[in-house]
Amino acid sequence: MNAVSTSVELKRDLLTGMEWNPSQVRALFSLAAEMKARPEQFRSSLAGRVLILLFEKPSLRTRVTFEVGVANLGGSSIFLDHTASRLNEREPTRDIAKNLERWVQGIIARVFVQETLEELAQNASVPVINALSDRFHPCQALADFLTLEERFGGLRGLKLAYVGDGNNMCHSLITFAARTGVNMRVATPAGYEPADDVMAEAKRVSRETRAKIELFRAPEDAVAGAQAVYTDVWASMGQESEAAERERIFAGYQVNEELFSLAARDAVFLHCLPAHRGLEVTPEVIDSARSIIYDQAENRLHVQKAILHTLLNS
């Protein structure tokens, strides 16, 4: 299968996920499924291409799946470790982008702030892919919805509950729930809701897909009857100083057996990992047969290969 084919030109960056319309997301899932089933057909997709992995934050799944994915497609990658010094400290982000565009065919960036990604994209002529920022984690959310589609055979009308912090992971799930017709219920403590602009954009897209994006205070209301229950860490990277306070605030938002029992009988549990067992989720839930966390992790590889194939061959 060739790159995503739509009547609307696909933007060559993936910064938020909002760049893509529902039909483009649907096409990406079809491509990812084909690449997963027949990887040998895409072994030269990135032949002769070099990609930079520019990481301000540590990583297991993101780094490995991107490096393996680039290699599977016949390309090569270079890892630039910026965990010791942030971008823009030693050299302006603009200059970094202007240099990299002369040498490589794409930039995969894992950064602390969304503005860094935006600056890279504004100043580099090659595709820039968000490998995580404080605002969005689109590659993970795309893998999550591909995993749910594999599990349930379709996404439209699926009931997904998210319990916890209205963080970057929550933002990306909302963004793609709107584009795939998923009914998503988000339960957060007061003051930790997803951003208003993310909600407004999702509701705009939902008018086309008939998705429902709803906010709740009580986790029980969000989880009741849900086919998928998702949570994430209460304190993300960069919020370590808030960890103790967040543990107190989020104590009632733990996904445990009692809460999970309110979901549908065939419900599955999801987590983007790494997880803190005993905090946002109990071992009994995350390590149960109904947990699909490792399917999610595997599908990071296949979705990211589809993203790379699409953006670098469009």
Tens digit of pLDDT for each residue in 68-118? 999 999 999 999 999 887 887 889 999 999 999 999 999 999 999 999 999
Q: Are residues 132 and 151 in the same domain?
A: no
CATH of the domain at 106: 3.40.50.1370
- pLDDT confidence of residue 6: 37
Contacting residues for 196 by C-beta, under 8 A, at least 6 apart: none
Catalytic residues: 110, 137, 140, 232, 272, 300
pTM for this prediction: 0.95
* Inside any domain, residue 90: yes
Considering the chain, what percentage of its residues have pLDDT values greater than 70? 96
| pLDDT averaged per 10 residues in sequence order, the chain, 314 residues | 41 92 97 98 98 96 98 98 85 96 98 97 97 98 98 98 98 98 98 98 97 98 98 85 92 98 98 98 98 98 98 92
Q: Are residues 28 and 151 in the same domain?
A: no
User: Cα(228)–Cα(196) distance, rounded to whole angstroms?
Assistant: 24
* Inside any domain, residue 284: yes
Q: Are residues 85 and 224 in the same domain?
A: no
- Each residue of 112-150: pLDDT tens digit? 999 999 999 999 999 999 999 999 999 999 999 999 999
- pLDDT confidence of residue 11: 55
Q: Are residues 46 and 80 in the same domain?
A: yes
What is the 8-class DSSP label of residue 38? -
Q: Are residues 47 and 101 in the same domain?
A: yes
Compute φ and ψ for 287, nearest 5 degrees.
Answer: -100, 15
Q: Are residues 73 and 181 in the same domain?
A: no
DSSP codes of every residue in 79-119: EEE-SSS-TTTSS-HHHHHHHHHHH-SEEEEE-S-HHHHHH
Quote the strand ranges of the chain, DSSP E.
50-55, 76-81, 106-110, 128-130, 159-163, 183-187, 213-216, 228-231, 268-271
* Inside any domain, residue 94: yes
Q: Are residues 36 and 122 in the same domain?
A: yes
Task: Give the N- to C-terminal CA distance of the chain in Å, as an integer.
Answer: 13
Question: Which tokens belong to 246?
Answer: 């967040």
Q: Are residues 92 and 237 in the same domain?
A: no
SS3 19: coil
* Inside any domain, residue 3: no
* Inside any domain, residue 100: yes
- pLDDT confidence of residue 4: 40
Q: Are residues 44 and 179 in the same domain?
A: no
Q: Which domain holds residue 145?
A: 140-296
Q: Are residues 131 and 151 in the same domain?
A: no
* Inside any domain, residue 72: yes
Q: Are residues 232 and 186 in the same domain?
A: yes
* Inside any domain, residue 12: no
What is the count of structural domains for the chain?
2
* Inside any domain, residue 285: yes
Contacting residues for 119 by C-beta, under 8 A, at least 6 apart: 93, 94, 97
Q: Are residues 280 and 193 in the same domain?
A: yes
- pLDDT confidence of residue 195: 98
Q: How far is CA 37 from CA 24, 66, 92, 159, in A?
A: 20, 18, 42, 27
